[in-house]
Structure 1
Amino acid sequence: MKFMVKSMTGFGRATFENEKRSFVVEIKSVNHRYCDINIKMPRSLIQLEQKIRAIIQKYVGRGKIDVFINLNTYDKSNVETIFNKDLADGYVKNLEEIKNRYGISEEISIDLIARFPEVITIEHKEQNIDELWMELCTPLEEGVVSLVKMREIEGSKLKENILEKCETIKEICKEVEIIAPKVVKIHKEKLNLRLEELLKDVEIDEERLSMEVALFADRSCIDEEVVRLKSHLIQVKDTLELEEPIGRKLDFIVQEMNREVNTIASKANNLDISNFVLTMKNEIEKIREQIQNIE
């Protein structure tokens, strides 16, 4: 089966029912740095916790996973009511003493005695844990599969959105590459004009001027940064096709993209490039927000 990009947000539900009991399994997940599984279930299922975790971890690599398991028992043969005779005798004896001491004529009713703590208790016989697991594992696995399907649907939307933003950044890179070579030429022309204004009757040292222009060109050259940024865009696209969890890897690549764009911003000596940089930073931030929810 082809691995799909998965969101860490999702919900799954499944049920099981026979003549003895019914199970309802609900699983929801949100984004988290690790795989954090929290299970809420009846005490009678506590022995199955590790098996439940193993099933979930088989399908889910990252996210905060909340599992809710409800068990409803129809078979009452495992339920027994216990009448504590000695305790009831003690209550009746004390009530009779109270009646005699204070001259109370009211009869002691069964309803009154039954209300006292521990007079009548309900005990649940231990159920066959293997039988419970055989019945629970089916809706549990179905619930996790349902969760994963929703995470895949959300993941495909995230992937599409990220690719669109990568394409936007790629197009901006093309615009920057067109403008960048012109920046040095414009700077040289401006420098010439200023020198002509300041030194009207003095011959301009062309060699010195060329050195100044060369230094400016070196300081403002963004060729390497643009090449690396475009390379990171390719890495993002390739990573989105990997058959493994990719959230952390994408996070690292986006950090590198931010670094390159910040360097371009610091070197840019052109208003158009500065505006393009702001747009790229905005798109990269949107990508970063999206990948926070990718497994």
Structure 2
Amino acid sequence: MEKIYSLTGFAEEKTENFKFTIKSYNHRFLEIYFQMPDFFQNLEQKFKNLIQEKVRRGKIYVKIELNSFQFPFQLKINKKLLKEFVLFFKEIDPKMQYFPFSVLQKESFIIWEFEEDEKILKELETGFNLCFDKFLKSREEEGEKLRKIILKIAKELKNNLAKMKKRLPELKDEIFSEYKRQIETIFENFKFDEERIAQEAALIALKVDAMEEVERAEQFTERIIEKFKKSKNFQGKEIDFLTQEILRELQTFSQKVKEKNLREAAISCKLLNEQIREQVQNLE
């Protein structure tokens, strides 16, 4: 059985010097955002390529933080830029006694110089791979939960449609008998061929016959169940299309059938169909 992945996932991993966090949310396309120390930016594209190989869509956030300073780097101040800022503020306020240090948080006064260390780079890549594997596992587990939920809803929808289908032949006979009685009552003083009256009543009953709509809705529901059982070449968009077709058939059914119980059953089916559609939005 092919794996089904949820669009939402979360994972964390810690190594000696780093903390990794990967999380994702529902999104129509694949968008990847990184937040990591500047001196490791050259690895961003490598990590992004790895994500693109495994993930088709979703909004993904990757955060890599330092949790230790046990590796070779130097922290320097950009003295030239700092001096220019001091002169600038003195021009604005010659009597300035205190420098607004809050500006340092927004400008590039701090320079990180990192000496590439093979051990540190290996730790960074290994930590990311471990976190990414956990992330994929979380999406898979969530996808499996959604599969079970959707299958349960789809089977309930199928059972409801089967009950509606069972009632329709009886309803058709009742409608035929009622229309035949009305025609005979209206034209009781005229001579009409019984076969002709039966034909007219049958034509009227046929116009309100909704068996085809129920059968098509059943077929679409069965395809959804089959997709989630086998999950071969699974596409969430295809399931979304099938739910739209089911809704169209149920709307036509409601226009044709006037019996209260069947109309209420159709509303229940629409609600179940909408639940399937909402859950499918969370699948890759």
- The bucket for the TM-score relative to the shorter chain is 0.7 to 0.9
Segments of 4+ in structure 1 off by > 4 A?
Answer: 80-85, 129-132
* Counterpart in the other structure of 2:226: 238
Return the TM-score normalized by structure 2.
Answer: 0.80
- 2:162 is equivalent to residue 167 of structure 1: no
Which of 212, 223, 234 in structure 2 is aligned with 1:224?
212
Which of 108, 131, 146 in structure 2 is aligned with 1:158?
146
* Counterpart in the other structure of 1:63: 58
Identity %, equivalent residues: 30
What per-residue deviation string (whole Å, max 9, x for no partner) do you get for residues 78-99 of structure 1? 32657979x99xx9xxxxxxxx
Q: Which range moved further: 187-196 or 24-33? A: 187-196
Q: State the shift of 1:233 in Å.
A: 1.8
Cα distance change of structure 1 residues 291 and 259 upon mapping to structure 2, 3 Å threshold: same
Q: State the shift of 1:189 in Å.
A: 2.0
* Counterpart in the other structure of 1:149: 137
Secondary structure of the residue aligned to 1:28 is: strand
* Counterpart in the other structure of 2:256: 267
Question: C-alpha distance in 1, partners of 2:131/2:219?
Answer: 40
Q: State the shift of 1:75 in Å.
A: 4.0
Which of 47, 54, 57 in structure 1 is aligned with 2:42?
47
Question: C-alpha distance in 2, partners of 1:186/1:25?
Answer: 68
Which of 24, 31, 37 in structure 2 is aligned with 1:29?
24
8 Å Cα contact 2:12/2:19 also seen in 1? yes
* Counterpart in the other structure of 2:9: 10
Letter in 1 for 2:208: S
What per-residue deviation string (whole Å, max 9, x for no partner) do you get for residues 121-146 of structure 1? 86533331765542212121211221
Cα distance change of structure 1 residues 145 and 76 upon mapping to structure 2, 3 Å threshold: closer
Matches within 5 A, 1:35-184: 35-72=30-67, 74-75=69-70, 77-79=72-74, 123-128=111-116, 132-184=120-172
Question: C-alpha distance in 1, partners of 2:180/2:71?
Answer: 98
Which of 241, 245, 248 in structure 1 is aligned with 2:237?
248
Which of 259, 265, 282 in structure 1 is aligned with 2:271?
282
Cα distance change of structure 1 residues 178 and 128 upon mapping to structure 2, 3 Å threshold: same
What per-residue deviation string (whole Å, max 9, x for no partner) do you get for residues 164-223 of structure 1? 111111111221221111222211222233334434444454233223223224322333
Question: C-alpha distance in 2, partners of 1:170/1:257?
Answer: 11
8 Å Cα contact 1:79/1:122 also seen in 2? no
- 2:181 is equivalent to residue 193 of structure 1: yes
Cα distance change of structure 1 residues 189 and 139 upon mapping to structure 2, 3 Å threshold: same
Q: Which range moved further: 74-83 or 30-39? A: 74-83
Q: Which runs of 5+ in 1 are unaligned?
A: 92-111
- Structure 1 or 2, whichever has the larger Rg, is 1
Letter in 2 for 1:271: K
Q: State the shift of 1:28 in Å.
A: 0.8
Cα distance change of structure 1 residues 176 and 245 upon mapping to structure 2, 3 Å threshold: closer
* Counterpart in the other structure of 1:98: none
Cα distance change of structure 1 residues 208 and 267 upon mapping to structure 2, 3 Å threshold: same
Cα distance change of structure 1 residues 49 and 245 upon mapping to structure 2, 3 Å threshold: farther
8 Å Cα contact 1:33/1:63 also seen in 2? yes
Over the aligned positions, Cα root-mean-square deviation in angstroms equals 3.1
What per-residue deviation string (whole Å, max 9, x for no partner) do you get for residues 225-276 of structure 1? 2232222122112222225452112112211222222222222243332122
Letter in 2 for 1:40: Q
8 Å Cα contact 2:18/2:124 also seen in 1? yes
Question: C-alpha distance in 2, partners of 1:277/1:40?
Answer: 49
